[in-house]
Structure 1
Amino acid sequence: MKVILTCNTSLGAGGQGVCLANAATGLKNLADLTVFCSGNKTPQTNFPVFPLGNSQWSQRLLSTPILRRRNDLAVLLSDLYFDRQVNQQLKSQDCDLIMGVAGQTNLGFKAAKAKGAKAWLYCLNNYLPFMQQQIQQELKVLADSTVATMNPMMLRRFANECQQADLIIVLSEVAKQTFVKAGFAAEKVAVLTPFVDTERFRPTAKTDDVFRVLYVGTIEPRKGLPYLVNAFSQAKIPNSELLIVGGASTRGLRRFMENVLSQNSNIKQEIWNFSQTDPTKVFGQSSVLVLPSVEDGFGLVALEAMACGLPVIVTSQCGAADVVNEGVNGFVVPPRDIEAITNKLVFLAENEAKLVEMGKAARITAAQQTPEVYQQTLNKIFVEQLSL
C-alpha cells in the first residue's frame, strides 16, 4: 500500500513538526510511505521525504512592515502554495491513502481521490470554526486590531477537506468532541494521542527553592496567557517566579508583554529552541507548567513537562486534559478562569510534598504514552478503516 503524508512544516520542527514525525514513523511501519513537507532541507530518514520549498509571497508579506499584521493571509498563501505543490507531485505519484494536515490539503485530497485513494484529514487543533470563535473572543478582550484569526478562505478549504475526508484524525478526545458537537459522526473522528521522547524530556534536580511557574509556547490569542499572568499576580506567592518561554505573535500581545515585564520583576520572558538545546534546563528548574489555552488540540508541551516530572494545570478546552488525572498528576480548570488557576497555584506552592508526589505521577503518565502505544492505536485505526 502506498501512503502519502503531507504537512506544511519541517519534519520534527515545533509541535506540528513533531506530530508529523510521529505520524511518519508510525505509518512507515504499516505501508510504503512518502512524506511531502515544506522547507528546502531533506532530513535523514529511512523513508522518502520531499521538501517542497516555501511560498515567496507569504515571506514577502511577512517582511513588509505595513502588511506584516496580516498573518491570516500569510498563512493562507503559504498553505495554498504547499497544497499546489502536493497536487503537482501527486500527478506522478501512486497513492492508496493520503493523510494531510487540516487547511493544507484540499487540492491534494482532490488529486488523490481522483486516483481512487482514501483521504484522512489530520487535524492538530480542535474543529477550526470552534477555534476561530475562541480566537475572535480573545481579540475582543485584548482589543487587538491585529488580524490573528483564520482567513475565511482557509475555513472554506477546511470545510471542503472535511467533506472529502474518509476519516478525521485528532490528537485528543477534547478535540474529537468539538467535531461531534458540530455534527460529525463520532465514528468519522479517531483519536491518536501523541507521545514524547522520555529520554530527552526527563526529571532533573531543581537547584533553587523558587516556586517557578512555567509557560511554554507562542504567545497568541488562543493560548490564554493573560489569564495566567493575572492569576500569578493575584496568587502573591512568596519567592515565586513566572517564566514565559516564547515570543508574541500579535502587536497587542507584544504590548501586553512589554507592560507585564516592565511592571513585574518576578515575571520573565525567554526564548529557547528545544530542538537544539536540552529542554531540562528549563523544565528542570520549574515547579509546575500551566497551559491556560482557550483552544488547543493537545498542547504537546504539557506532556513534555509531565515527562520532566512537573504537574500541569491545563484547561478543559486543551487536549492535554485527556492525560490529566485531577489532583493526581495535575489539574483541569475551566478556560478563562483566573480564580481557578490562582487557587491551584497557591495549593501547590503551599503543599510541597503534594507537589513532589504529583510530579512523580506526571512522569509515570508521560512514560505510559509510548511509541508502542501510539503504534498500536495507529494499527487499530488502519485495520478498522481500510477494511471498510
Structure 2
Amino acid sequence: MKITLTCNTGFGTGGQGGCLANAATGLNQFADLTVLCSGEEKPQTSFPVYPLGSSQWSRRLLATPVLRRRNDLAVLLSDLYFDKQVSKYLKSQSCDLIMGVAGQTNLGFKAAKQKGAIAWLYCLNNYLPFMQQQIQQEMEFLSEPTVATMNPIMLQRFLGECEQADLIVVLSEVAKQSFIQAGFSPNQIAVLTPFVDTNRFRPTPKQDEVFRVLYVGTIEPRKGVPYLVDAFIKAEIPNSELLIVGGTSTRALRIFMENTLSKHANIKQEFWDFSRVDPTEVFGRCSVLVLPSVEDGFGLVALEAMACGLPVIVTSQCGAADVVENAVNGFVVPPRDIQAITDKLLFFANNEPTRQEMGKSARITSEKQTQEVYQQTLEQIFRNQGLLN
C-alpha cells in the first residue's frame, strides 16, 4: 500500500508539525509512506519527505502594511498553493491512501480519488465552523473585526473535503463531539490521540522558588490568552510570574501584550523553538501550564508539559481535556472563565506538596500516551476500515 500524508507546515515544527510527525511515524509502519509538507528544509527521516515550498503571494500579502491584517487571505493563499502542489504531485504518482490536513487538501483529495485512492481527512482542530464561531466571538471581544477569521472559501473547501473523506481522523474526543454535534455519524470519526517523546520532554529540578505559570503557543484569538492574563493578575500570588512563550498573530493582541508587559513586571514574553533547543530549559522553570483555549483540537503542549512533570489547567473545549483528570494531574475549567482559572492558580500556589504530587501524576499520564499505544490505535483504525486483516 502506498500512503501519502500531507500538511501545510514544517515537519516536526510546532503543534501541527508535531502531529504531522506523529502520524508519519505511525503510518510508516503499515505501508510505503511519502510525506508532503511546506517549507524548503528536508528533515532527516527513514521515509521520503518532500517540502513543497510556500506561497509567494501569501508572503507578499503579509509583508504589505495595508494588507497584512488580512491573515485569513494569507492562510487561504498559502493553503491553495500547497494544495495545488499536492494535486500536481498525485497526478503523476500512485497512491492508495491519502491522509490530508483539513482545509489544505480539497484538490489533493480529488486528484487521489480520481485514481481510486481512499481519502482520510486529518482534522487538527474541532469542526471548523465551530472553530470559526469561537474565533468570531473572540474578535468581538478584541474589537478586531476581520483579521483572524477563516476565509469563507476555506470553509467551503473544508466542507468539500468532508464530503470526499472516507474517514475523518481527529485528535480527541472533544473534537469528535464537535463533529457529532454538527450531524456527523460517530462511525465517520476516528480519534488518534497524539504522543510525545518522554525522553526529550522530562522532569528537571526547579532552581528557584518563583511560582511560575506557563503558556506556550501562538497568541491568537482562539487560544484565550487574555483570560489567563486577567486570571493571573486577579490571583495576586506573591513571588509569582506569568511566562508567555510565543508571538502574537493579530494587531489587537500585539497591542494587548505590549500594554500588559508595560504594566506588569511579573508577566514576561519569550520566544523559543523547541524543535532546536532542550524544552526543559523552559518547562523546568515553571510550576503549572495553562492552556486557556476557547477552541483547540488537542493542544500538544499540554501533554509535553505533563511529560515534564507539570500539572496543567485546560478548558473543556481543548482536546487535551481527554488526558486531564480533575485534581489528579490537573484541572479542566470552562472556556472564558477567568474566576475558575484564578481559583486553580491559587490552589496550586497555596498547596505546593499537592502541586508536586499532581505533577508526578501528570508525568505518569504522559508515559501512557506512548508511540506504542499510538501505533496500536492506528492499527485498530486500519482494521476497522478493512485495510488490515
* Interval of TM-score (by shorter of Structure 1 and Structure 2): over 0.9
How far has the Cα of 1:145 moved from its partner?
A: 3.8
The C-alpha deviation readout for 1:200-239, integer Å capped at 9, x for no partner, is 1100000110110111110000000000011011111111
The match for 1:119 is 119
- Equivalent residue of 2:92, what SS? coil
In 2, Cα distance between equivalents of 1:325 and 1:269: 29
- Equivalent residue of 1:46, what SS? coil
* TM-score (norm: length of structure 1): 0.99
The match for 1:151 is 151
The match for 2:245 is 245
The match for 2:279 is 279
The match for 1:203 is 203
In 2, Cα distance between equivalents of 1:45 and 1:295: 32
- Equivalent residue of 2:214, what SS? strand
The match for 2:335 is 335
The match for 1:33 is 33
The match for 2:350 is 350
Query: Which sections of structure 1, spanning at least 5 residues, go unmatched?
Result: none
- Equivalent residue of 1:358, what SS? helix
The C-alpha deviation readout for 1:22-64, integer Å capped at 9, x for no partner, is 1111111001111111112222211111111111111111111
The match for 1:235 is 235
The match for 1:108 is 108
- Equivalent residue of 2:265, what SS? coil
- Equivalent residue of 1:386, what SS? coil
Asked if the contact 1:216–1:245 (Cα under 8 Å) also holds between the matched residues in 2, the reply is: yes
User: Map of 1:5-84 to 2, 5 A cutoff?
Assistant: 5-84=5-84
The match for 1:180 is 180
In 1, Cα distance between equivalents of 2:43 and 2:230: 42
| Cα RMSD, aligned residues only | 0.9
In 1, Cα distance between equivalents of 2:72 and 2:8: 15
In 2, Cα distance between equivalents of 1:238 and 1:138: 30
Q: Does 1:368 align with 2:352?
A: no
Query: Which sections of structure 2, spanning at least 5 residues, go unmatched?
Result: none
- Equivalent residue of 1:108, what SS? helix
The match for 1:142 is 142
In 2, Cα distance between equivalents of 1:387 and 1:271: 43
What is the letter of the counterpart of residue 359 of structure 1?
G
Asked if the contact 1:145–1:252 (Cα under 8 Å) also holds between the matched residues in 2, the reply is: no
- Equivalent residue of 2:179, what SS? helix
Asked if the contact 1:289–1:310 (Cα under 8 Å) also holds between the matched residues in 2, the reply is: yes
Q: Does 1:267 align with 2:251?
A: no
Asked if the contact 1:146–1:251 (Cα under 8 Å) also holds between the matched residues in 2, the reply is: no
- Equivalent residue of 1:190, what SS? strand
The C-alpha deviation readout for 1:302-352, integer Å capped at 9, x for no partner, is 000000000000000000000001100000000000000000010111011
The match for 2:316 is 316
In 2, Cα distance between equivalents of 1:122 and 1:3: 13
What is the letter of the counterpart of residue 80 of structure 1?
L
In 1, Cα distance between equivalents of 2:154 and 2:203: 40
Residue identity (%): 76
In 2, Cα distance between equivalents of 1:52 and 1:215: 31
How far has the Cα of 1:384 moved from its partner?
A: 1.0
In 1, Cα distance between equivalents of 2:309 and 2:42: 34
What is the letter of the counterpart of residue 20 of structure 1?
L
Greater mean deviation of Cα atoms: 33-42 or 55-64: 33-42
Asked if the contact 1:146–1:250 (Cα under 8 Å) also holds between the matched residues in 2, the reply is: no
* TM-score (norm: length of structure 2): 0.99
Asked if the contact 1:329–1:362 (Cα under 8 Å) also holds between the matched residues in 2, the reply is: yes
In 2, Cα distance between equivalents of 1:198 and 1:110: 38
The match for 1:217 is 217
How far has the Cα of 1:367 moved from its partner?
A: 0.8
In 2, Cα distance between equivalents of 1:241 and 1:47: 43
How far has the Cα of 1:353 moved from its partner?
A: 0.8
- Equivalent residue of 1:214, what SS? strand
Give the total of aligned pairs: 388
In the TM superposition, structure 1's runs of 4+ consecutive aligned residues that sit over 3 Å from their partners are none
In 2, Cα distance between equivalents of 1:294 and 1:351: 27
Q: Does 1:171 align with 2:178?
A: no
Asked if the contact 1:146–1:252 (Cα under 8 Å) also holds between the matched residues in 2, the reply is: no
What is the letter of the counterpart of residue 257 of structure 2?
M
What is the letter of the counterpart of residue 377 of structure 2?
T
The match for 2:255 is 255
- Equivalent residue of 1:91, what SS? helix
In 1, Cα distance between equivalents of 2:34 and 2:281: 35
The match for 1:88 is 88
How far has the Cα of 1:116 moved from its partner?
A: 1.0
In 2, Cα distance between equivalents of 1:75 and 1:143: 21
- Equivalent residue of 2:72, what SS? helix
The match for 2:97 is 97
What is the letter of the counterpart of residue 315 of structure 2?
T
